[in-house]
Structure 1
Amino acid sequence: MEHKRKIGGERLRNRDDVLNEDRISELPDDLLLRILSSLPTETVIATSVLSKRWRSLWKMVPKLKFNSEDHKSDHQRFSEIVYRSSLSHKAPVLESLHLVVRDKTEALDVGIWIGIAFAHHLRELVVDLHNQEEAYAIFPSVLFSCDDNTLDSLELKTSILLEFPSRVCLKSLRKLHLDYVVFNDQESVCNLFSACPSLEDLFVERKSNIDVEIFTIAVPSVQRLTIVDEFPGNGDEGYVINAPSLKYLNIKGLEWVESCLIENAPELVEAKIIDVTYVNNENILVSLAGVKRLSLHSLPFEVKYPTGIVFYQLVFLELLTPKERNILSLMLDSCPKLQILKLINPTDCFATRRACPVGWEWSQPKCVPECLLYHLETFVWTKYAWQRDDEKEVAAYILKNARRLKKGTISTLAIESNKLERLEKRYEMLNVLANEVRGSVSCHVLFEADSYSYKSGYYVPHKFSFTLGTTEKE
């Protein structure tokens, strides 16, 4: 009995030793630094009290993150922490510095903190200066005047005024993200973009006409460009894009913007145009004639459709627009090599009922488009309005004339399962469409008609699909 007690006690001590064992400290420095890099810098500094080994380890962490919101009642202490931490840093290369500053008095010190970081060969800089007073802080342009800066990625957010009276140097910069910053003038825009000969990824989110009326993006090296401008303009402003290396373009907004001129983008492969509704010039579509993939999510679609335009390279087309508009008919006629067609109905019921402009109603092409006869292989219609005759007319036309179609998927919005009459009517309407004449004998068309119910306060979806006149539940 005594022997068993000794064995039991020894096992208990061994278990406690395992639980109390500091296994994290046994990890190699490289792994520990990687772990610490994901934490706020103040938390990293706090590890210095753990043991002798941890005392200076935090100084080698290659990423620094500071947020003044953690010091709402003591702004002076926040400034001291950032300043001392930056000076104490020992890593040969500072991979990133993230600064979130919410007090306009602290914003005055941002230039000093960034200057110290540049001395450590900073690669990524993120600065967010949003404050409740909405007062703009002038970003110290002198920081970008040095030829030896190693900045690879720059992200500037809100309440920042950019003033570049002369050219600066950002020769290593590959990624630039400008989020609601304000330029002092057009010259500042030009001087910044011309200072980035290696820039590949540019993201610009702004408020129309808040700083410069014609926002010119002339960057020969940029390959990926995103413009977001969802604030209504007054009709005088616009965008000019000159990007000979551009491959991917994403534009969202531009409400009541006078123009969006794409002067030079011969390498453009993929474009996504969202909510660009009232641009008055045709250039925005003409400049996209060479793309291979195009998504048009504009409602209502008021952009002028150019006469005689042909999308010779287009193989993928996605449209978000009420199907009674003739944009679909025009696009089918203009895309001779189209292989994939995706139609998406808007979830906004009001938008689908909005009166369409004269001349944009769906009209069947006089001749079957070349893409339907020889190339279209995939047809997808999401949120298909099964109760509308004009929707059925469009779907039936595509299914009847797409001779090379291999796969089709038509899905509707879910209906509550207790509305039996509506569910039966939907099935009846979809089954009629399923039995329409097909242009392709090998085509498999899947109809997805989901429903849902509420049980104990939870949303319970029910998958339901069928092909032709048969049904198959999942």
Structure 2
Amino acid sequence: MSCEDKISALHDDLLLKILSQVPTKDVVTTMILSKRWGLVWTMVPKLEYKDTWKEGEKSIWRLLEKSLQLHKAPVLESLNIQVECQFCDDADVVKCVSYAVDHKVRELALILPSQPKILQLASNVYTSKTLVKLTLSCRTLVVDVPSLPCLPSLQRLALLSVVYKDEKSHVRLLSNCPALTHLEVFRNLSDNVTRFIVKVSSLKSFRYTQHKRAPSRSLVLDSPGLRRLNLSDPHGDLDSIQNMPHLDWAYVLHFVPNPKDKKFLRSFSSVKVLRLSLRNVECCSTIKFSRLMKVTLHLYCFDDFMCSLEPLLLFLHNSPILKVLEINYDVALCSNGVPLSWNRPSSVPVCLLSHLEIFVWKEFAGRRQERAFVAYILANSKRLKTAEFSPRYNLYEKEKEKMMELLKSMYRASASSQLDFLI
């Protein structure tokens, strides 16, 4: 019974589409299958090279150089290089990346471990007219931007654990990317920039992470077109963030040194969905969130810090159309005796009377003030559909059962609302 080679009978376009999903070192081996396959791999528009510790220092660069030399595709859609081991000669990577840029690569990713010496890319990387997506990740890669960079097509940029030639290198780079819509920045202690400035009018999404504690660093953000923002910088200076009138979604992890310092979050007043990790909600209790529909608050309380719930009610008063309220109250074990102050407000927040549909409380410990707060929410939320509670992890089973019965006994303004208790 003869075996029919149906794959080889496929049209080149379909074969190239299939091979584009396979690592390049495996794609190259198809050349030995038959004369039909001999040159197919040279037309694959996507090249992906991954090297592990086991494969050796030179293997990836030999494969990369040879395959690029033989590459015949009219357009190089993407070049993805990921290496786990160090290498002695940075000329290999510089040459390969420069070659790809010269051949009009559209997506370029260079993900390397720290190298024995400084790595600098060829200047043509910063003047490419075809690059649409660029990812650079290496602790010893220096972003050395020429005086006249130009990346007119670049839409997505990721600068992960890189260093910069000077304070202005990243500014020159960003200011000459007129089509940039997505930016990701990951900073570690080797990063040598004090004030990271992002002023990009076209920017729609920005992710900024400060990996280690570096309180002397600051972020200057002036991109009014932003719609999504992810900030993770617990101890840095975030006070130089300008207004973002079109912001739809934001996540913020930041421990405000002074809870009464409200400057930091004023620029988030237009957000629709907000996730906050703070030590105290007081810093945003007087800010008007006129468009806010969903908020997730992860509140930390350490040592003898006063975990007041009163600012949370003020926050609800200033969020008139809020539909989803999620709370994670992370009170330190050593703070079990700390009172959670809360007094019943004189008026009910509008969001409770006409909008709130989902109420979630994680790490619920059942303290007196917590119970009073929850009872108030349930008794005044006329449109509530679901109330969900998960107990604090260190509670005994009997304590959890008692808490569940207590919650069930509370009056609910919305008779059709469902009460869930996740043990």
CA distance in 2, matches of 1:108, 1:355: 57
Alignment of 1:372 onto 2:352: yes
AA in 1 matched with 2:375: A
Q: Over residues 6-34 of structure 1, what are the superposed CA-to-partner deviations in whole Å (9 max), with x where a residue is unaligned?
A: xxxxxxxx4xx3xx433322333222222
Distance change (3 Å), C-alpha of 1:23 and 1:364 = farther
C-alpha deviation, 1:202, in angstroms: 0.6
The aligned counterpart of 1:444 is 417
Structure 1 or 2, whichever has the larger Rg, is 1
Alignment of 1:263 onto 2:242: yes
Preserved contact between residue 282 and residue 312 of structure 2 (Cα < 8 Å) = no
The aligned counterpart of 2:90 is 107
The aligned counterpart of 1:181 is 162
The aligned counterpart of 1:244 is 224
CA distance in 1, matches of 2:323, 2:422: 25
Q: Over residues 104-158 of structure 1, what are the superposed CA-to-partner deviations in whole Å (9 max), with x where a residue is unaligned?
A: 434322222122212332110000121364x431222333235xx2111000002
Alignment of 1:119 onto 2:136: no
AA in 2 matched with 1:305: C
Q: Alignment length, in residue pairs?
A: 412
The aligned counterpart of 1:83 is 65
The aligned counterpart of 2:290 is 312
Q: Over residues 334-367 of structure 1, what are the superposed CA-to-partner deviations in whole Å (9 max), with x where a residue is unaligned?
A: 2122121112345xxxx543659x9984444343
AA in 2 matched with 1:433: L
C-alpha deviation, 1:247, in angstroms: 0.6
C-alpha deviation, 1:232, in angstroms: 0.5
C-alpha deviation, 1:50, in angstroms: 0.3
C-alpha deviation, 1:175, in angstroms: 0.6
CA RMSD of aligned residues (A): 2.7
- Aligned with 1:343: secondary structure? strand
Distance change (3 Å), C-alpha of 1:169 and 1:35 = same
Q: 1:193 pairs with 174, 185, 193, which one?
A: 174
Matches within 5 A, 1:40-439: 40-69=23-52, 72-73=55-56, 75=58, 77-101=59-83, 102-131=85-114, 133=116, 135-146=117-128, 149-159=129-139, 160-207=141-188, 210-233=191-214, 235-252=215-232, 254-274=233-253, 276-278=254-256, 282-298=262-278, 300-301=279-280, 305=283, 308-321=286-299, 324-326=307-309, 327-346=311-330, 351-353=331-333, 355=335, 361-385=341-365, 387-412=366-391, 422-439=396-413
When structure 1 is superposed on structure 2, of 197-206 and 101-110 the one drifting more is 101-110
The aligned counterpart of 1:461 is none
AA in 2 matched with 1:185: D
TM-score by length of 1: 0.80
What stretches of structure 1 of length at least 5 have no aligned partner? 1-13, 451-474
Q: Over residues 64-114 of structure 1, what are the superposed CA-to-partner deviations in whole Å (9 max), with x where a residue is unaligned?
A: 122343675452x54332112112111111111011243343432222212
Preserved contact between residue 257 and residue 278 of structure 1 (Cα < 8 Å) = no
Preserved contact between residue 129 and residue 137 of structure 1 (Cα < 8 Å) = no
AA in 1 matched with 2:157: L
AA in 1 matched with 2:153: S
Seq. identity, %: 33
CA distance in 2, matches of 1:179, 1:449: 38
CA distance in 2, matches of 1:209, 1:278: 24
AA in 2 matched with 1:88: L
Distance change (3 Å), C-alpha of 1:360 and 1:222 = farther
CA distance in 1, matches of 2:52, 2:145: 30
CA distance in 2, matches of 1:360, 1:392: 10
- Aligned with 2:264: secondary structure? helix
Preserved contact between residue 136 and residue 161 of structure 1 (Cα < 8 Å) = yes
CA distance in 2, matches of 1:61, 1:164: 31
Alignment of 1:28 onto 2:11: yes
The aligned counterpart of 1:472 is none
What stretches of structure 2 of length at least 5 have no aligned partner? 302-306
